[in-house]
Structure 1
Amino acid sequence: MDSNNLDRELVGVLFPGIVKNEDKAITCLGGIRNISQVYSNPSKRRLGLSFQPENPFVRKIYGNSKKGAGVLLKVKVKKVKEGNEIKREVVSTTVVGCVKTMFRFESMCDFQYLAVHREGPSDGPVSCCLEKILPSGVEVIDFMLQPSPLLLIPSSFTRFEKPIGYAYTDKRHPDRSSPEPGDSVHSKTRMLRSSQVSPYTFNLTNELPSEPHEVYVKQKEIKFDLHPRLIEEYDVVKKLFDERPIWSLNLIRYHTKIRLVSLKVIMPCLALYMKTGPWRSTWVKYGYDPRKDPAARKYQTLDFRLRHAAGVRSMIMSREDITTDRERKPKRSAAEAAAVSDEIAEGSVYFRRGMTPTQRHIFYQYCDIQLPEVEEILAPEPPPGYLCHQKRGWLPANTGEICRDHMFRYIKDTLFNSNNTDLKFEGSGNGSSSNSDDGGSDGSDGGGGMSDEGGFGSDGGGGASD
């Protein structure tokens, strides 16, 4: 056996079928060019295979590249016919190369939707109408006026490429009830993953709980026995809530440097998490009701989203690096992941002149926006008899929109004056005129969700003009 080609590296493709024509098999794989593109960058692309390359209604199956250890042999066999029997004799064996990468098609083929049409009675012949549906070139307008065959295919194929076992059982947590019948479809959210008790949905009628749930108390006692350090961290967070009744989780992490794992045990024992409403995404101390205290207006949440005007949005990174689902990143160690996740920048919780937000979408509390224009809006007390509003709380109408205009103007001045002096201001890039990405996602204090209500203290928003 000749073994001189062991140093030659090859790439193998396990074709899911019997190959009788190599050219047709390569065409099913997308051609030589597509195979070369996948081979040059296997971490981001997968090798697709279609048994009907000319039919766009056939779903492809994909094969992933995997490491392998094999040898490709070329064997010459001599066939000799003796009577009714055929004897085979190996003449020579040659090593073509070693295979270190292998593409395997391990997914299942989805149901294929073929473009067929039946004319006449229900038991009449079925004909392929693919040529009638797909344009063959530059068509005239008459092509659009002619009757078209009836062909309705699903908008998408199955999401799963491998067979899975699914047990149709009841919900694991029966206490997490789904929205009542008649609710809007858009209000339905996914089930919670870790917490045993659902967060508080803001309303003006139900009483706020004054004590933590027994589940969190038992969890705290167990964790305290296992980790005595949690007792000191618990006292630190409790002291913060004695000084200020409403905190955001990032603000506590910024001041205390306590790990997020510890805060998941401590926070539910000291405060109630607001899921919606004017104090959305904040923790309210047990026993304190912000709906009855007008001073709680400064702790309300402002949903700030960076606008597209004048190219400012491109200067600030998004929350997460955008990566494709094909890109594979090396796994970080647990210590590195914990160190990165516990770092909270000042721009994530505070905003002042000369500071830019750390990402394009941040929730701020009004008292942490240290701008004179915002402080002037928060200064007036609500008039006697004024009640807390379902969406804007104790603040006048359009307060969120006015504060966003001021913040965006400061951000634009900071970015253009410090980062890039070549960029010029444009008239259309004014913060007050741009309204893209403006407003809260749930309408808690969004720009357009409050204009129908009358406000108080009209001079409080007087300093909001640009």
Structure 2
Amino acid sequence: MEVTKTMKLGFSLKELSLSRCTGDVPGGSSTVELRDSRLVCVEYPAVIKSVDKVLETLGGEQTVSKTFAHPNRRLELHFRPQDPFCHSLYGNRFSSSNLLLRVRRRVRKTDPKDVKIRMDVLGVIGTTYKFQGYIKRLADFQCLAVHSEKGENTSLYDKIILQKPENQEFFEQPVPSFLPPAIFSRLDSPVDYFYRPDVQHQSVTPGQVNKKNVIGLTRARRPNNAIFVSFSDPTVPSECLEAAKQNWARICLKDADKEAEEKLKEMFERRPIWSRNAVKANVNLHPDKMKLLLPVFAYYMVTGPWRSLWVRLGYDPRQAADSKKYQMLDFRIRCSGKHGYSLSDMPVKAKRSALNYSLPNTLNKAVPQPASVMGLPAQEGPSTSREPAPVTHQLKVSGGIILHFPRRNAASSQADVLPAV
């Protein structure tokens, strides 16, 4: 059952006649039925010629509904929805209290002067998405996947976008390099950047503080005693740390653990360099135990051609010519439910994901700042007990910043050139 509300509105148009109202006096006060329908408005930054194309650029009704269900998400607009490399334009969400009016103007053919205007209030707009508010929103830099050869542009979508698992011949075909990043700029509003030095902060508690009396904000790190080597280091270790042997001996209690140890030892004798995924594919061992077993036989390369690989202790890949075949080949596959692979199709879980980055499709709301307790040095004075004097604590709470964006005056707004959709 639809609940209706009444609202009195005053109009000065002599030819205005409102719907569901009879006997109204032109120029006087009239009563209009206000439907209790909550609507969402999208201020589209283009000239609309086709509603279907507009919904397609917004991702469809389902995508708009999902965006509306999350208040901190921004509405994405793709002017080229079929292009997987099209970067989005983002609209911010605002609360509003507007009315959606439907106005009909009827003119009699026999008497053009006989004009009737009929107005219906369809509902209340409580949420509005704006792509151009007080601060202009800009789309990210666009990059087309084309190859220019002999003055003609050739599309590369069929050659670089994986729609299904391919064999080795697909990757060996000659294709121009096209490796655009997920986003070029993380800011979608113009900013006047002034080159100034960083602000130097001074500690509020100068002096030495007894670390035993300081309450930590995070859990203390539990090292696995692995040895990390950079490509620029002059030498490589030949033996593991004694703590690494002790940690593995402490948890190596089952026969399966001893079998995994012998298996890993045989693997590094057969091949000096292994990746973690390759070790997991050959050795059946729990990941937590694998963290403690690998430092016993190998060290971890941090930079260089063999970065993120485990190298046998005492083996220097920079001195051996045969180690060139073990270099790390890092490549990225686009994961998307609409274009290319999905996450469920990946045989190996990605080490990093673009979803972990701070993309401009969401707004981080202000959350209560945690309070940190900092230890202060004890006051000078004798202490009668064996324990050191009690330490006083200072409660330090980070302050918040409230930003206010005023509405733009209609008289001061400038006309923009908008694309047609």
The TM tier, using the shorter chain, reads 0.3 to 0.5
Q: TM-score, normalising length from structure 2?
A: 0.42
Task: With a CA cutoff of 8 Å and minimum separation of 6, indicate the structure with the bigger relative contact order.
Answer: 2
Q: Which structure has the highest helix share of the two?
A: 1
